[in-house]
Structure 1
Amino acid sequence: MALAPLVVCLLALLTQDVLAAGGAHWSYTGQHGPSHWGSTFRTCAGRRQSPINIETGNVKTEYWRPLSFKNYDEAPTSMRIKNNGHSAQVEMDARAAPRVKDGGLKGEYIFEQFHFHWGADSSLGSEHTIDGVRYPMELHLVHYKAQYGSLGEAVKRADGLAVLGVLLQTSDNDNPAFTPLATALRNITQAGRYAEVEANYPLQAFLPDKLDKFYRYEGSLTTPTCNEVVTWTVFADAISISDRQLDAFRALMTEEGDNIINNFRPPQPLNNRKVLVSGESGADSSSMKKVGLTVYFMTTMAIIMMNM
């Protein structure tokens, strides 16, 4: 039996155009831009904010089990894309909700929506940077923790959300998965509009081919109200998008009638948080520690026996 729709408009706490508490206005420029968010939304001035610059020379390796994706390879029954005045947000219905677990995540998380951040040109656009390098676009796949039952309940918990960050780099060729989205965007240039997406690619099509290397840290939503409830997974490998497809996103308009461009928050202070990176082994870190202790014990016993 088909599941209930994965929410056409989503819950207010994650729909970016209504995330702002009390209807307070925010934007990416001027007096309502990111440098002023903390004055209007207290949580945006917290110490566990996102995005961050990931310094690859200053990360700790962890040996987790690989990330496990369920129903990510099944095409949705329907998909729609919305111009919420700040970004392009994709929602879908599915026979079985996509889920992700393992990979160091503490529990199973259910997919809710994905959205994008991009630049005025291909020299910038991503929210996360790696060693200071900014990509032309970043895709965020938002999930809430299954045990909390709903998105609304999950955003109240420190481990309530798991967001997968996928970096995009430009290619001379169109990415087939983005072609239906780019086509639908032509019908929603004005803020508040949404359109059905004709060809429904599975979520797997929006992930890198290699999923074994990713960065992990504890952070926040990157838009007001900046709730510090997100376990971030940022993949090391990027996926492709053409400049022509990117231009379809840049044609979207804000509520004020300006082009939605440079809709990314600058990197935030790390504030002594640790950034982890997945190791190449499929074993989790606790198993590795147990193996290490076992080897140490056996070696010690062998030395003792030899000296008896």
Structure 2
Amino acid sequence: MPKPPAKPPCACSKKAGSEPLNSPIDLGAEVKPGPAELKEPWEFNGLEKMLCTEIKNDGEQIIIRICPKQSPVICGGGLSHSEYIIDRIDFHWGSAHTVNNERLPLETHIFMYCTEFCGIDEALQKEGAAAFSILHEYSDITSCGICKLIPFVSQINKCVNKPIPYCVISLKDFLPENKDNFIRYTGSTTYPPYKPGLEWTVFQEKLPITRIDLGQFTNICDQDGKLIVSNFREIQPIPPGAEIFSFSDGKDCSCSTPKQ
């Protein structure tokens, strides 16, 4: 694959000598409007492509692994590198991030890395990894991606580290319609060992989920057979001077309806 052209560093990247920002954080008063020069349109290549993957319960969360050769390519959006591919999708119940100190029922994380690197571990060491965060709120309907996921969740709720085929999914099903309204900051992974240098995009449009469907997640068991009632990391402090920016197209960010 040809090496994509380098981009200038994102203003959200950690400044030299500044205290690192860990994730997750509360998205509240510290969020400031992002500089206009950082606003850049997204380009998603292969977003609707159907992927054959595998899903597993690792005893702490549900993980969907994406084969690099199948992954859609993500460009733009003001991210620090030119092209990214997906590594994995995982889920947190309740949400990892909070909004004005409110915790939502579910959060989807889509981890990706720059195509210059061999994998996400190398990318995290060199500030070449990024993540999408999609928050879910209670509704009387459930988004399309979660609807398709639920039957597989029930198959792995007591089977730890035993992946099963998950065919087929489309990344589009897990993303909101409005991808231009988001919060951007550079933090860390939300799973051990909490590696720094991860560029977060938290979409402001929330996707719906019913209480019944959320119950499928809280039925997941750990290695000792105990229910994982919640699996979020505690909110991390925000150091002085941290750059947490919001970008908006001015459109409404209310809850999406499922794309059936």
* TM-score category (smaller protein): 0.7 to 0.9
Following the alignment from structure 1 to structure 2, what is the Cα–Cα distance between the partners of residues 174 and 223?
Answer: 26
Aligned-residue offset at 1:160: 2.1
Aligned to 1:65: 40
Q: Partner residue of 1:92?
A: 66
Structure 2 gaps of 5+ residues are 1-18, 251-260
Counterpart contact for 2:67–2:87, Cα < 8 Å:
no
Equivalent position of 1:245 in the other structure: 213
Are positions 1:219 and 2:202 aligned together?
no
Shift of 1:188: 1.1
2:154 partner letter: R
The DSSP-based 3-state class of the residue aligned with 2:185 is strand
User: Shift in Å at residue 177 of structure 1?
Assistant: 2.4
Contact 1:75 1:201 in 2 (8 A): yes
Cα distance in structure 1, aligned partners of 2:219 and 2:97 = 23
Give the 5 Å matches for 1:164-183.
164-183=132-151
Percent of counterpart pairs with the same letter?
28
CA contact (8 A) 2:63 2:90 kept: yes
| Shift, 1:95, TM fit | 6.1
Please, which of 95, 118, 121 is the counterpart of residue 149 of structure 1? 118
- Return 220-229 or 51-60, whichever deviates more: 51-60
Question: Are the counterparts in 2 of residues 180 and 197 from structure 1 also a CA contact under 8 Å?
Answer: no
Greater CA deviation, 50-59 or 209-218?
Answer: 50-59
Change in CA separation of 1:133 and 1:83 when aligned onto 2, cut-off 3 Å: same
Question: Matched residue of 1:179: which SS?
Answer: helix
Aligned length: 227
Cα displacement string for residues 222-258 of structure 1 (whole angstroms, at most 9, x for unaligned residues): 1110110200000111111222221111111001211
> Are 1:204 and 2:172 matched, yes or no?
yes
Aligned-partner Cα distance in 2 for 1:115–1:66:
25
Which position in structure 2 is the counterpart of 1:50?
23
- Larger Rg: 1 or 2? 1
Provide the secondary structure at the position in 2 that maps to 1:73: coil
Structure 1, residues 181-201: CA drift from partner, whole Å, max 9, x if none?
211122212222222234x23
Q: Deviations over 1:262-301 (max 9, x none)?
A: 20012111112110111438xxxxxxxxxxxxxxxxxxxx
- Given residue 196 of structure 1, which amino acid in structure 2 is its aligned partner? P
Seen in structure 2, the aligned counterparts of structure 1 residues 140 and 274 have a Cα distance that, compared at 3 Å, is same
Matches within 5 A, 1:264-303: 264-272=232-240, 273-280=242-249
1: distance between equivalents of 2:199 and 2:115? 14
Contact 1:67 1:100 (8 Å CA) reproduced? yes
Whether the 8 Å CA contact 2:222–2:228 is kept in 1: the answer is yes
> What is the rounded CA distance, in whole Å, between the counterparts of 1:277 and 1:174 in structure 2?
26
Which residue of the partner structure matches residue 50 of structure 2?
A: 75
Deviation for aligned residue 1:57: 6.4
Larger helix share, 1 or 2: 1
Q: CA RMSD in A?
A: 1.9
Deviates more, 1:79-88 or 1:99-108: 99-108
Change (3 A) 1:182 1:58: closer
1:130 pairs with 2:130: no
Alignment partner of 1:116 is 2:91: yes
* Contact 2:87-2:112 within 8 A present in 1 as well: yes
Q: Could you give the per-residue CA deviations for residues 132-164 of structure 1, whole angstroms, max 9, x where no partner exists?
A: 12110000000011112322321211x221000
- Determine whether 1:105 maps to 2:82: no
> Structure 1 residue 193 and structure 2 residue 162: aligned?
yes
Cα deviation for residue 104 of structure 1 reads 1.1
Could you tell me which amino acid in structure 1 is paired with residue 206 of structure 2? A
Question: What's the TM-score once normalised by structure 2's chain length?
Answer: 0.81
Letter in 2 for 1:79: T
Structure 1 position 98, deviation (Å): 1.3
Question: Match of 1:187, SS?
Answer: helix
